Structure 1
Amino acid sequence: MGGDDRFTQDFQEMRDDQPMGTRNEVITGPVADWATDFSHLEPEWAADPYPIQDDLRGRCPIAHTGRFGGGWLPTRYEDVAAIAYDTDRFSSRSIIMSNFRPPPELAPVGGTPPISSDPPFHHDARRLLLPAFTKTAVTRLEPATRAYCHALIDAFEGRDVVDAAHEYAQYIPMRVIADMLGLPPEDGPRFRTFVENALEGVNLPPEERIARMGNLFDYLLAQIRDHVDDPRDDLTTYLINAELYGRKLEPSHVAGTMALLLIAGIDTTWSAIGASLWHLAKTPGDRERLVAEPELLPTAMEELLRAYGPVTMARLVKEDMDWHGVEMKAEDWVLLSFPAANRDPAQFDRADEVVIDREVNRHAAFGLGIHRCVGSHLARMELRVALEVWLERIPAFGLEDPSAVTWAAGQVRGPRKLPIRIG
């Protein structure tokens, strides 16, 4: 073992010391009325949430549910933005709406800083990550990302049908994040399991959910110990050596931030790449135009992010209050649906259409407020390169079977099966 004894104790002790939070019964099944009984885990939401959101925005802009112990769903841009910016009344200590709530004493740090952190801690924890995600730092990652995209498509040779989600989109962010953190690239299948457990396993009993998350932290502990013994030029070693308030980060902070980057950094980009390819596969006019006018891709990419932004984040109400006429109770969930905000006709002209040459596009795909995605430059680079390489190598493609496309349920929505016919 190396010289940093912060990491000599097993994370089992850390998990044993964490209270499990309040147990809440979760009821899944058909929704009677989305305004009073919404559930983002239902298959119709995963398949196509936009008509549901549009209906709610028109008749009940802030929906309620008794599931998960009670929660709210704003669907107007102005409401989503107002809550996202209001850190005095809404806590970020848990950003995944699930069947238990982390205890209030976890604030202001939370389990996966900085996304789970409240002010003032959030500002300082976020600042530690900024150097790794500047445009300059991200630019250095582009050649390897482009080469890897080409290698993935090389593997399609001789095939007429490929799964663009399973065989292309998911692998790009897995490789990029693995390289940044200095994790073995062959551990990709593990990363996929970690992502699915964290973001799609929210209906599991708390004991099982915590056990699965424990597997993630056990993996991260092993990687941290390896980096303590063998320091290298990567983000993991940087976090191990980083200081905050005059001392090195707590082991839970290092592991929590790594978990955030591993999970959020993979699934969001995987979903955005997959959704973009799905749109181009089913919309030949847009696909043909981008092939003919590749210089339009940066603009089109922003529109694809607006129209199919994958991320919804949760907040917890701090105290009982009347919020714009809605009686919110302490510990109620609030789901901040950035995808719903992005399709609000009060904010965007032709909000329900994909306009790939849309010039004014202040979308919220990367979030709003203090938690706006720290990795937005990285995600944009990965999405742009993934689409550039695909359109260059496979200019003609379409959906093999639209009914075979499946989408992830939960707070990060993207294609999980995407059969594409090449040529």
Structure 2
Amino acid sequence: MTGDDRFTRDFRESRADLPLGTRNEIITGPVTNWATDFSHLEPEWAADPYPIQDDLRQRCPIAHTDRFGGGWLPTRYEDVAAIAYDTEHFSSRSIVMSNFRPPREAAPVGGTPPISSDPPFHHDARRLLLPAFTKSAVAKREQATRALCHSLIDGFEGQSTVDAARDYAQYIPMRVIADMLGFPPEDGPRFREFIENTLEGVNLPPEERLARMESLFDYLLAQVRDHVDNPRDDLTTYLVNAELYGRKLDPSHVAGTMALLLIAGIDTTWSAIGASLWHLARTPADRERLVDEPALLPTAMEEFLRAYAPVTMARLVKEDTHWNGVDMKADDWILLSFPAANRDPEQFERADEIVIDREVNRHAAFGLGIHRCVGSHLARMELRVALEVWLERIPNFGLSDPATVTWSTGQVRGPRTLRLRIDQARSPA
């Protein structure tokens, strides 16, 4: 057996041996009291979580639920930050809150390193990815990203309404991540399916969820085989050849990191672009100001990230502990709501307002602590370019029907249907 064949065999075996984890009762349905029975999968949370978070911050800043086997939801910035930095009491071995937990033996690597990794392994796994996400590396992708945005808007010719979420926002990170990993750009629709299975299907029975995940890893295996046979200058070939502690990465590490980049790298930026366009469509004064003052966009963009932060991350309690007034049990979930932290009035002036020229804005949209997003430079570039091109080409737009806007459920929130009325797109400058 050649080394290449051995790698792909080990890759498949690493997935086949994954345990299902601890099974908990599947609990869905209306929430009667968000302080004692919260659920991030309910439609009212997806539609508008901010009033719920504001209410909890006042009367029960660390909410609890018995769903998903038990979990906690801190809503104050200081609590979210404290847990994010506390790797002694809280594990990252699973960052998606669902109806089952991976076994403790999964730590410190986790299923999708480095985001699922605990110290000390996390530091070294994260360091492997840093060269691909530096400002200089990201800058090399800006021209292609800008050309893609223009081509997408070219496709709107003759249309008076478009779905900015499905026809614009989602395609930008899909193409960027596909190019980084060396995946066929025409596979974009499959990426959407993988994202929905992973992030929006968390309450499925574990066996069904695992079966759906297998389609993702079958796809990744096919890409690995192709890269082993045809090495090129991309992130997949880099991971296949990378070494840690003097040896090649385990196939499970390669698979998990590829899955992380494919799913998290797409959904978060897709959501941020969509939410920003949603805000501008419903706030003509902000839209008109950015059209007139394009130099303000980087500042406004940070405010959109603060106010509409897409990502909530999960942690697992390591051992029974009394933390900040509540008794947490081992393997309780913690939902780190960076969106709630970003609207804490103790941390931000006029926290419930969107102030596009806000000068002091130390938001937590990219996370806090050791797991702060390694791809933040890339996400910022994609968001900035997407908005620059849109405002240049389509300066006049608004919501076609606010009632038809839909938002994703789960831990990454962004528009999934966003019908906009648009004027005829201008020609590129």
Shorter-chain TM band: over 0.9
Corresponding residue for 1:144? 144
Corresponding residue for 1:113? 113
Aligned equivalents of 1:298, 1:245: Cα separation in 2: 40
Give, in angstroms, the shift of residue 197 of structure 1.
Answer: 0.4
Corresponding residue for 2:37? 37
- Number of matched pairs: 423
* Residues 22 and 100 in structure 2, CA contact (< 8 A), matched pair in contact too: yes
SS at match of 1:367: coil
Give, as a single letter, the amino acid of the residue that structure 2 aligns with 1:233.
D
Instruction: Classify 1:6/1:250 alpha carbon distance in 2 versus 1 (closer, same or farther; 3 Å).
Output: farther
Corresponding residue for 2:427? none
Confirm whether residue 419 of structure 1 aligns to residue 415 of structure 2: no
Give, as a single letter, the amino acid of the residue that structure 1 aligns with 2:382.
E
* Residues 11 and 255 in structure 2, CA contact (< 8 A), matched pair in contact too: no
Give, in angstroms, the shift of residue 306 of structure 1.
Answer: 0.1
Aligned equivalents of 2:137, 2:10: Cα separation in 1: 33
Corresponding residue for 1:231? 231
Aligned equivalents of 1:334, 1:279: Cα separation in 2: 29
Corresponding residue for 2:253? 253
Give, in angstroms, the shift of residue 19 of structure 1.
Answer: 1.6
Corresponding residue for 2:72? 72
* Residues 80 and 336 in structure 1, CA contact (< 8 A), matched pair in contact too: yes
Give, in angstroms, the shift of residue 3 of structure 1.
Answer: 4.4
Q: How does 1:296-335 map to 2 (within 5 A)?
A: 296-335=296-335
* Residues 77 and 344 in structure 2, CA contact (< 8 A), matched pair in contact too: yes
SS at match of 1:330: coil
Aligned equivalents of 1:6, 1:273: Cα separation in 2: 41
Corresponding residue for 2:426? none
SS at match of 1:113: coil
Corresponding residue for 1:370? 370
Aligned equivalents of 1:155, 1:359: Cα separation in 2: 36
Corresponding residue for 1:122? 122
Corresponding residue for 2:172? 172
Confirm whether residue 92 of structure 1 aligns to residue 98 of structure 2: no
Give, as a single letter, the amino acid of the residue that structure 1 aligns with 2:107.
A
Deviations for 1:274-320, whole angstroms, at most 9, x for unmatched residues?
00000000000000000000000000000000000000000000000
Give, as a single letter, the amino acid of the residue that structure 2 aligns with 1:342.
N
Corresponding residue for 2:54? 54
SS at match of 2:81: helix
* Residues 35 and 56 in structure 1, CA contact (< 8 A), matched pair in contact too: yes
SS at match of 1:35: coil
Corresponding residue for 1:209? 209
Deviations for 1:25-64, whole angstroms, at most 9, x for unmatched residues?
1211110100000000000000000000000000000000
Q: How does 1:185-224 map to 2 (within 5 A)?
A: 185-224=185-224
* Residues 12 and 221 in structure 2, CA contact (< 8 A), matched pair in contact too: no
SS at match of 1:167: helix
Give, in angstroms, the shift of residue 7 of structure 1.
Answer: 2.0
Aligned equivalents of 1:54, 1:143: Cα separation in 2: 41
SS at match of 1:379: helix
Aligned equivalents of 1:7, 1:327: Cα separation in 2: 45
Give, in angstroms, the shift of residue 14 of structure 1.
Answer: 2.4
Give, in angstroms, the shift of residue 8 of structure 1.
Answer: 3.0
* Residues 111 and 253 in structure 2, CA contact (< 8 A), matched pair in contact too: yes
Aligned equivalents of 1:269, 1:319: Cα separation in 2: 34
Give, as a single letter, the amino acid of the residue that structure 2 aligns with 1:383.
L
Aligned equivalents of 2:14, 2:132: Cα separation in 1: 27
Aligned equivalents of 1:295, 1:2: Cα separation in 2: 55
Give, as a single letter, the amino acid of the residue that structure 2 aligns with 1:195.
I
* Residues 314 and 335 in structure 1, CA contact (< 8 A), matched pair in contact too: yes
Give, as a single letter, the amino acid of the residue that structure 2 aligns with 1:353.
E
Aligned equivalents of 2:177, 2:55: Cα separation in 1: 38
Give, as a single letter, the amino acid of the residue that structure 1 aligns with 2:199.
L
Aligned equivalents of 2:341, 2:403: Cα separation in 1: 27
SS at match of 1:162: strand
* Residues 272 and 309 in structure 2, CA contact (< 8 A), matched pair in contact too: yes
* Residues 6 and 250 in structure 1, CA contact (< 8 A), matched pair in contact too: no
SS at match of 2:36: helix
Give, in angstroms, the shift of residue 16 of structure 1.
Answer: 3.1
Which consecutive aligned stretches of 4+ in structure 1 deviate over 3 angstroms post-superposition?
Answer: none
Aligned equivalents of 1:14, 1:144: Cα separation in 2: 35
Aligned equivalents of 1:241, 1:129: Cα separation in 2: 13
* Residues 265 and 375 in structure 2, CA contact (< 8 A), matched pair in contact too: yes
Aligned equivalents of 1:64, 1:314: Cα separation in 2: 14
Give, in angstroms, the shift of residue 13 of structure 1.
Answer: 2.8
* Residues 404 and 418 in structure 2, CA contact (< 8 A), matched pair in contact too: yes
Corresponding residue for 1:262? 262
Deviations for 1:152-194, whole angstroms, at most 9, x for unmatched residues?
0000000000000000000000000000000000000000000
Give, as a single letter, the amino acid of the residue that structure 2 aligns with 1:189.
P
Deviations for 1:54-107, whole angstroms, at most 9, x for unmatched residues?
000000000000000000000000000000000000000000000100000010
Corresponding residue for 1:394? 394
Confirm whether residue 404 of structure 1 aligns to residue 397 of structure 2: no
Aligned equivalents of 1:10, 1:27: Cα separation in 2: 36
Q: How does 1:262-301 map to 2 (within 5 A)?
A: 262-301=262-301
SS at match of 1:218: helix
* Percent identity (aligned): 84
- With the length of structure 2 as denominator, give the TM-score of the two structures: 0.98
Corresponding residue for 1:351? 351
* Residues 163 and 419 in structure 1, CA contact (< 8 A), matched pair in contact too: yes
* TM-align CA RMSD: 0.9
Give, in angstroms, the shift of residue 15 of structure 1.
Answer: 2.9
* Residues 6 and 251 in structure 1, CA contact (< 8 A), matched pair in contact too: no
Aligned equivalents of 1:157, 1:240: Cα separation in 2: 42
* Residues 94 and 314 in structure 1, CA contact (< 8 A), matched pair in contact too: yes
